Chains A and B, each alone.
Chain A
Amino acid sequence: MTEHEQFDLLLPWRVNGTLEIEEHEQVRLHTSNCVTCRSQLRELEELRDAVRKGPVPSFDAAAGFRKLEERLAGDAAIGPVTGSARFRSLPGALRWLLLAQAAALVLVAGLFVARRIEQAPVGSEPSAPFRTLAAPRPEILGGAPRVRVLFSEGITEQELRELLHEMGGRIVDGPSSLGLFVIELDAGAVDGPSLADRVAALRGHDGVRFAELVGSPSTRP
């Protein structure tokens, strides 16, 4: 390839101004002495203008995002790559091997538990349940109801604080990949039949797009 041909290949990017300084200078020097390249530059400038100034429809980005949100919310399979997604992407043989290994571990654990039960003295009192230090407190696990909530995009921190205060709740988890928060309601404030009403009121709040009791069937406002 001749020197001229090498420079000719770079001309398109001299015209869009993205050549590195050294390349740009070399091309500029060559072009100043090459009639053919100067002619090519004019052609390329014409091509650049035709492409840049060509008609392009305007697209509604905000509407596009709303559609995408609906699509993501409607398809639970669409989410950031997670451990389970990576597992599904493994080759079939490797997946079966891992499953078999997991099954073997479960079997061994089951045999161990069964043996411990057999060895326990008949009629003995059940001991306190095992709990790690990091485990949630039993009173939280057992009692206070929790609500899964998706707040509106425009809600301010102040509004959020007021809303939490009104409903007697506090955020205990979230946001999830879909922006969901889990709110634990104050058990004392929501005892009895008023719980359903409180959740309904929550759904009616301007700052809430979605609310459901954790463990209840999913219902949209």
Chain B
Amino acid sequence: MNLEDSALLAAVAEGDVQAFEKLFLRYHQPVAAFLFKMTGRRGLVEELVNDVMVVVWQKAQTFAGRSRVSTWIMGVAYRKALKAIAKLGRAPTMVAVEPDLLVDEAGPDLDLADTERRDQIRRTLTKLSPEHRAVVELTYYLGYSYAEIAQIVGCPENTVKTRMFYARRKLRALIQPSHTAGREEGRTGSR
């Protein structure tokens, strides 16, 4: 049965373990991937996912329905990620991932230059602040709108837009200039 997220969460609020399991399985991979991309620590992810889902289990009754369930859960994951990063005491780094565990997202037709270019961008992403990186990952890995990201990270929509703007600016500054075709036009925006 493919229950809507909100129906599942309502059942979880009543202590329904089966509904909780369904919700857990539905959100495990996106939450885990987001936490991995934020922290760069594979070994930390399972525990963090469980921390997130414990909050979902405990606080399901407090979900007011003002946002989608997915943004609510991602909001919990975002806060857990920030806490974990603060505890680690440094920004996430690019970590080696066992090749057999990779989700094969890159096609065989990618040429070497494209692959290197993407690697370079991904390495540069790790140099962003967690708040800026989160906006990039939520936009392009999880496909959220800026309005949804504002709900997830708990800030105004304009702040989301400016965080993305600063993230782009930093990426452009750090990535080889030959690839930056467009030049920024005297922006004076603030965070």
Contacts and interface: CB of A to CB of B under 8 A. Distances in A.
Is B one of A's binding partners? Answer: yes
Interface of A: 1, 4-5, 8-10, 12-13, 15-19, 36-37, 39-40, 42-44, 46-59, 61-62, 64-65, 67-68, 71-72, 78-81, 85, 153, 175-179
Most A CB within 10 A of own CB, among B58, B59, B162, B179: B58
A18 B24 contact: no
Given A50-B118, A54-B118, A58-B101, A43 B139 contact: no
A44 B97 contact: no
B98 interface: yes
B176 interface: no
A9 B60 contact: no
Nearest to A180: B17
Nearest to A48: B140
B91 to A, nearest CB: 17
Contacts of A47: 121, 136, 140, 168, 171
Contact of A175 (B17, B21, B168, B183): B17
Interface in B14-28: 14-18, 21, 24-25, 28
A126 to B, nearest CB: 41
Contact of A39 (B17, B168, B181): B181
Contacts of B105: 52-56
A51 B141 contact: yes
B25 A62 contact: yes
Interface residues on B, range: 35 or more
A153 B17 CA distance: 10
B6 interface: no
B42 interface: yes
What are the 7 tightest A-B residue pairs by CB atom distance, in nearest-first order?
A: A39-B182, A177-B15, A18-B145, A61-B28, A50-B121, A51-B140, A50-B118
A65 B58 contact: no
Contacts, number: 170
B183 to A, nearest CB: 7
Interface string B133-146: 00011011101111
Given A51-B141, A59-B32, 20 more contacts: A5-B187, A9-B161, A36-B183, A36-B185, A37-B182, A42-B182, A43-B180, A47-B168, A47-B171, A50-B118, A55-B105, A56-B103, A64-B28, A65-B25, A65-B28, A68-B53, A71-B54, A85-B58, A153-B21, A179-B17
Contacts of B102: 55-58
7 contacts: A9-B164, A56-B33, A57-B42, A57-B98, A64-B50, A71-B54, A72-B54
Chain A binding surface, main DSSP class = helix
A111 B61 CA distance: 39
B13 A36 contact: no
Contacts of A153: 18, 21
- Most chain B beta-carbon contacts within 10 A, residue among A9, A40, A176: A9
Nearest to B60: A80
Instruction: Among A9, A47, A49, A72, find the residue whose CB has the most chain B CB atoms closer than 10 A.
Output: A47
Given A52-B105, A57-B102, A81 B29 contact: no
B131 interface: no
